Structure 1
């Protein structure tokens, strides 16, 4: 059962699909630990104390909770249980049975259907009722989801473009991104047969934008890739911001869980999604992304929502690579 829980957990999104998590199951106590993996940090774009790593691990933690509920078990979770061990992000005790009022199990079908889509979305508007439901999903995990108005969307897009320019001029940031994408030359992301186990392969890049109107990161880094075309993306993207009042590691873990709850609910609602954090990787730009009139003090992710083609599945490491049983 532990292996199945971890397999579902690792379907979560993470920055550049680095999958910055490890799990350790303690047989004697029945506790499953979630740990950050220091070998999968991004010192240039996600420096210590590694906010993005916490977000990805929080998303994996939420998937684990959903998987436990689907199995009829309750997952009692403690965040950051040991102040002396900052890489120990959570401990989960899987007990049973799940509460009758738990709505987590209903989200389970979306775990393996949810994929990031870097393709054009249609111009069809997302109904207010669906957006309200996504706001409620974020609140259930102690975070906020804010849907900016047209003026604020343009401001966010300008900040994303500013971040793109900064990254283009930063060799260290470009090298760090390339390490986790098909443009990189490292071999640690491949099995013996050459198949990728992590990172973002070229088939998931999506087409190049004719006019850059949607906040979709171009991982090709200006390189021409065989068979990759171009397309016109939506002119007025529907964006949502996930954030919290405070900006501490526990808040990042809560925001990661809220992010995944929102993404799974959006998937069940028939939406496709993509994520962008470029403007959030630069402290001065990140501060400007927020709405000063909102109670959301700190933004953790920009979500693009809409209707369009589902993105392809990206590789995941096998369970034995991420789970230790002691």
Structure 2
């Protein structure tokens, strides 16, 4: 959420082991009190590490939450041996640098069935279900996102979380994190696409307005349980789906507004499909690629150990 980058890696050279730890500088105390979104973000970073390791020709043994005594140690990735014929997930590597969240309008174009099937398979590889909302369920998800967006505009805690990672005048926020105004995207004039307004309803000089989709393509990712291990799986699935979507020419943005409110999250599910706990909602479509957002420097997210 909010490009908070809540992860830190340690690489132990002798043992060829990466440790992924939660970095609580990226926590959002009001919007994510249980650290669910933090785990999902770290899971996405873990997926990128797995992709990079495979790209460099290594097999890896990945374990999530490897030490029950240390809940902030989220995963370990051990390089075991040179990679064999199985290249998964190395093929996703070109998309790691080109994938950016797009807060622009998408075309009113249906995503082909073969592409949808590939995205469903990408999530399934991480033991997460993906389903596209349609009909009454799509309308319900849109209404819940709208309700959450309205709450966020008047909720002091949500406003504080947003301001911490967006306010240009906030000199306490490093320039290497957060969502700058250049990545807000245009203000919605008409349309039903649930794109978060990172301006918090305030005017931004020079910001354009645009017409968004009236029938957006929304994909919901869900798990059968709602534990930290499920959140980490979701993060890996989300990133795998986004990388696959990028290679297939799709743009994407996150629809997390309703997920941030306990009473709105449960109704997101489609009871007819057997969906359990919705962990993420993605807006997908054909449109402009997203604007690059800042990243922390390598020495701020990676420690090299003997």
For Structure 1 versus Structure 2, the TM-score category normalised by the shorter chain is over 0.9
Identify the residue that residue 10 of structure 1 maps to in structure 2.
Answer: none
For the 8 Å contact 2:153–2:201, the answer to whether it is kept is no
Once the two structures are TM-superposed, the CA of residue 224 in structure 1 deviates from its matched residue by 1.3
Match among 8, 14, 27 for residue 13 of structure 2: 27
**Does the CA-based 8 Å contact 2:168-2:180 persist in structure 1?**
no
Tell me, yes or no, if structure 1 residue 304 matches structure 2 residue 288: no
- 1:200-279 to structure 2, matched below 5 A, reads 200-279=179-258
Partner Cα separation in structure 2 for residue 138 and residue 188 of structure 1: 37
Structure 1 unmatched runs, 5+ = 1-14, 191-195
| 1:147/1:240 contact within 8 Å kept | yes
Q: Pick which of 287-296 and 265-274 moved more.
A: 287-296
Equivalent residue number for residue 135 of structure 1: 120
Q: TM-score, normalized by length of structure 1?
A: 0.91
Partner of 1:189 in structure 2?
173
Give CA-to-partner distance per residue, 1:221-277, whole Å, 9 cap, x none. Answer: 121112101000011001100111111000110010000000000001111111111
* 1:24-173 equivalence runs, <5 A: 24-48=10-34, 50-173=35-158
Distance 1:131 1:39, change over 3 A: same
Equivalent in the alignment of 1:199 = 178
* Residues 40 and 231 in structure 2, CA contact (< 8 A), matched pair in contact too: yes
When the two chains are superposed, the root-mean-square deviation of aligned CA atoms in Å is 1.2
Deviations 1:78-122 (A, max 9, x none): 110111111000011123212312321110000011111000001
Deviation at 1:212, TM superposition (A): 4.6
Q: For the residues of structure 2 that align with 1:284 and 1:51, how far apart are their CA atoms?
A: 15
Q: Is the 8 A contact 1:179 1:185 kept in 2?
A: no
Q: Which 4+ stretches in 1 moved above 6 angstroms? A: none
Q: 8 Å contact 1:245–1:295 — kept in the other structure?
A: no
Higher mean displacement: 93-102 or 39-48: 93-102
Call closer, same or farther: CA 1:30–1:142 in 2, change over 3 Å: same
1:209 match: secondary structure: strand
* Closer, same or farther: CA 56–157 of 1 in aligned 2, 3 Å: same
Counterparts of 1:139 and 1:234, CA distance in 2: 28
Tell me the CA shift for residue 316 of structure 1. 0.4
CA distance in 1, matches of 2:96, 2:274: 30
Q: Give me the whole-angstrom Cα distance separating, in 2, the residues matched to 1:99 and 1:295.
A: 37
The secondary structure found in structure 2 opposite 1:111 is: helix
